[in-house]
Amino acid sequence: MTRAPAETQGEALTARQQAVLDAVLSLMVEKGSGLTMTAVARRASCSKETLYKWFGDRDGLLTATVQWQASKVRAGNFDRQTLDAGALRESLKRFAANWLEVISSPTSIALNRIGVSQAAARDGNLGSIVLANGRFAIGKRMMPVLEAGREAGLLDFDDTETTFRTFFGLVGRDIQIRLLLGDPLTLGKAEIARDAERATDQFLTLYGTAANDPGRTNNA
């Protein structure tokens, strides 16, 4: 699955339309939920009539924006071959760092805020879209790694989903909720690397087998 258009409506977006959605993204980051159609039209240098013609209504525009952003963040999958203890640890660290970068990026914060706001109102269509492209997307990419680690005798667990959720918690901790609620928390490259390493170490302490890291004395 190298390339997936992923647009549910399958409507190939023109370059102009993508530019409009990028304008929406930039406005979301700047203005937050105070996002008006007029502001979008002005920022994108297009008419409101065009916005409504292309995206139907405000909700359609937001939905298209979320999916557009999601299509830009598809990270590459890992290669299942040559999975020794070091490669597994590296894969975990890379996933953790990638996830921390995503959830601490202004774009992700703005998008998740929009999703949460929408979920609060009527049928949370946008919320589920954000969820599918965030939490569940990372899970879908992550769980094969865990299972490969188990097959290689490096990890020991029963339920993949539960195990992933533990890793998710060790990585994210309180970061996402704090950022969503406006905590002026900033994650630099160094902090992300350190957090990813710590989370990976803790995860391997909980789920790693003796074969995983012979240097350690503790074996669950």
Partner DNA sequence: CCTGAACCGTAACGTACGGTACGGACTTTC
Partner DNA sequence: GAAAGTCCGTACCGTACGTTACGGTTCAGG
Subset of residues 87 to 116 that bind DNA, contact rule: CB under 7 A: none
Q: Phi and psi (nearest 5°) for 58?
A: -55, -45
Q: How far is the CB of 15 from its own copies (least distance, A)?
A: 29
Subset of residues 117 to 146 that bind its own copies, contact rule: CB under 8 A: 117-122, 124, 127-128, 130-131, 134-135
**Contact, 114 vs 136, CB < 8 A?**
no
Separation of alpha carbons 79 and 82, rounded Å: 8
Separation of alpha carbons 93 and 165, rounded Å: 15
Contacting DNA (CB under 7 A), which of 45, 81, 82, 162? 45
215 binds its own copies (CB under 8 A): no
Question: Which residues are within 8 A (CB) of 18 and not within 5 positions of it... i.e. 6 or more apart?
Answer: 68
Draw the binding track, 158-187, toward its own copies (x: CB under 8 A; -: no contact): -------xx-xxxxxxx-xxx-xxxx----
Contacting DNA (CB under 7 A), which of 2, 3, 34, 181? 34
105 binds its own copies (CB under 8 A): no
Q: Which one of its own copies, DNA, none interacts with residue 176, CB within 5 to 8 A by kind?
A: its own copies
Mark 137-149 as b/e (b = at least 16 C-beta within 10 Å). Answer: bbbebbeebbbbb
49 binds DNA (CB under 7 A): yes
Separation of alpha carbons 122 and 206, rounded Å: 40
- Here the tokens at position 111 are 């998008």
**Looking at this protein, which amino acid is placed at residue 56?**
G
The region of 40-48, 80-88, 107-115, 180-188 touching DNA under the rule CB under 7 A is 40-48
How many residues bind DNA (CB under 7 A)? The answer is 19
Q: Which one of DNA, its own copies, none interacts with residue 49, CB within 5 to 8 A by kind?
A: DNA
